[in-house]
Structures are given as C-alpha cells and as structure tokens.
C-alpha cells in the first residue's frame, strides 16, 4: 500500500499518497500550502479573504490578485461548460440592499486582466472550484518536485501525477447495494470526482441547482483534470433522471449509481482502460 497521510482543513478531508516513503511529509506540506494559499483569497468564512471585495462591490469593477482572478476564470469556465449547472453565484442579499429586479447570471460576470466586474446582486463563492483545481495542481507540483508518484484526495475528488505504484492508484467510488465499496484504478495524470445526490458534492459550497431525487445515489466522472471531473460530476447530479444521457452526450467516462442498487456506465467508461473491468 502506498504511504499516505490524512488531515482535515477548510471543511474537507485531505489525503496525500506517494510512491516513496521519504517524500510523504514534503508532499503533504506542498498540498497543505497550496490549499492555504487559495483559502486565503476565497474562503467566505475568513473576514480578510479577497473575494469579499468582489462581493461587496455590487456593480463596481474591482482589481484582484492573480490567484483569485484565476479561480474566478476557472469558475466561469465551469459554468459555461455545464450550461450554468455549476455556477459561482450564490443567493445572498447584502444588509439593507434591495434585491436585484433581474437576478444576475454567470454570463454577467466579466474578468478583464486583473479587473473583475460582478453586477449588482451578484455574490460569488468559488470554494468547490478552488479545491478541485488546487488538488490537481498540487499533485503535479509535488510529483515534479519530489520525482515520485502523488495522489491528492480532497473529499470525493482525486487527482494524480507522476508514476503509479504497483497495482495503480486504487480509489473507492462509493458503496453498492451489497454494502461493498467498488474500486477503480485512476491513471497517473487524470482525476476522478464523485458527486452524491441529493447533496451534489461534499466539498462543494458553490450554488448548484437542486433537482428532484430521481433515485440517484452518486455520479462518478473520470477526466484529464480535477476541475473538469468535479464540474462534470456536479453538473450530472443536477441533471437528475437525465444524468446518464448528459454524461454520454458529453463523451464523459462516468458511472451512475442508483439508490435501488443498480449501476449504469457510459460507453466512454467501458471503453477507457483500466475502467472497463469495473461495473
């Protein structure tokens, strides 16, 4: 079994696995530092987080740092890719403010260089996006710096980089009807994210539309990067009964589990080794 360490930060369980024992402490430090840096600019629970300046501007352009600007761009990209199913906008009203007559959408938010414009009535939360993007970026940095294989898990999102351990990176994808926890092998350089219904994602506090139950238990997506895996899984969960069709139309390698015990997979999941042996 690969050496690993687990801790909790920013409301999430974080796990780091490496292929070399000697690299574990430093790899964990790299991941912890990366998370701390993004948390400092976008954690709504911190009074000094830079994102508050954007939310308080209410129609006035605001200059932001490179890190927050990049996270907002990533969140807008995810919103465009999922037709707004995953959005950085949250429902909130400033004290004493009159609600906007026409609620803003993610398409009303603009980022030009280091300047962000969010219209009146827009409040942003990029927490889930920040964690997903950071997981993959931190895994890559740790693997490159330490010259070993690295897996980073933040709640239900896994990102890998570097060479794999013997037997590959084995990751649980949720319990089935028998109570077992099926595992898949996540290839190096790829990511896996699971969104659970009706709560879309344990690590996510972004605004994702609630949908009718539809009997969904979970949606698991494998993609080339953590941001897209996370966004696609969350968006699919928001599709309800149409989840499997949406995943197939977007050519995603995905597994959909239902509460009554059945599991359905997309063609891309079945034909993308090494996932073809897992139901």
pLDDT tens digits for 170-218? 898 866 555 666 788 899 999 999 998 754 344 444 444 444 455 888 8
Position 92 pLDDT exceeds 80: no
CATH dotted code for 148-277 = 3.10.520.10
Which segments within the chain are labelled E, that is strand?
4-9, 12-18, 62-63, 110-112, 115-117, 150-154, 157-161, 169-172, 183-186, 191-196, 216-223, 253-258, 263-265
Q: What is the pLDDT of residue 174?
A: 65
pTM over 0.85: yes
Ranking 60-69, 118-127, 186-195, 252-261 by mean pLDDT, the lowest is 252-261
What is 190-229 written as a DSSP string?
A: -EEEEEESSS--TT--SB------TTEEEEEEEESSHHHH
First to last CA, the chain: 23
**Model confidence band, residue 98 (pLDDT cutoffs 50, 70, 90):** low
Is 122:115 a contact under the CB 8 Å cutoff? no
Which pLDDT value is given to residue 97? 52
pLDDT digits (tens, 9 = 90+) for 146-170: 999 999 999 999 999 999 998 889 8
Instruction: For residue 128, give both structure tokens.
Output: 């889930």
Tell me how far apart the alpha carbons of residues 251 and 91 are, in angstroms, rounded to a whole number.
32
Q: At what angle do helices 66-81 and 226-238 cross, to 10 degrees?
A: 40
* Closest C-alpha to 90, from 106, 102, 78: 106
Going from N- to C-terminal start, the domains of the chain cover 148-277
pLDDT of residue 40 exceeding 70: yes
């Amino acid at each position: 079994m690969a050496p690993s360490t687990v801790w909790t930060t920013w409301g999430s369980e974080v796990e780091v696995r490496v292929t070399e024992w000697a690299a574990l402490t430093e790899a964990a430090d790299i991941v912890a530092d990366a998370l701390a840096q993004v948390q400092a600019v976008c954690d709504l629970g911190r009074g000094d987080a830079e994102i508050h300046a954007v939310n308080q501007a209410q129609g006035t352009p605001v200059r932001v740092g490179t890190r927050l600007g990049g996270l907002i761009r990533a969140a807008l990209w995810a919103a465009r890719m999922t037709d707004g199913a995953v959005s950085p906008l949250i429902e909130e009203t400033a004290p004493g403010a009159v609600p906007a007559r026409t609620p803003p959408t993610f398409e009303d938010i603009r980022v030009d260089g280091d300047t962000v414009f969010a219209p009146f009535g827009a409040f942003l939360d990029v927490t889930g996006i920040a964690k997903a993007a950071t997981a993959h970026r931190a895994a890559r940095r740790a693997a490159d710096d330490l010259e070993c294989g690295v897996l980073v898990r933040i709640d239900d999102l896994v990102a890998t980089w570097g060479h794999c351990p013997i037997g590959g990176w084995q990751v649980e994808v949720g319990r089935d009807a028998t109570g077992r926890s099926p595992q898949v092998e996540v290839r190096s350089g790829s990511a896996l994210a699971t969104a659970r219904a009706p709560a879309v994602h344990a690590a996510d506090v972004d605004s994702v539309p609630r949908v009718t139950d539809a009997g969904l238990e979970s949606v698991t997506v494998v993609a080339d990067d953590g941001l897209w895996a996370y966004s696609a899984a969350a968006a699919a969960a928001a599709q309800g009964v149409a989840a499997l069709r949406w995943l197939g139309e977007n050519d995603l390698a995905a597994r959909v589990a239902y509460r009554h015990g059945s599991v359905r997979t997309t063609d891309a999941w079945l034909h993308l080794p090494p996932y073809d042996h897992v139901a």
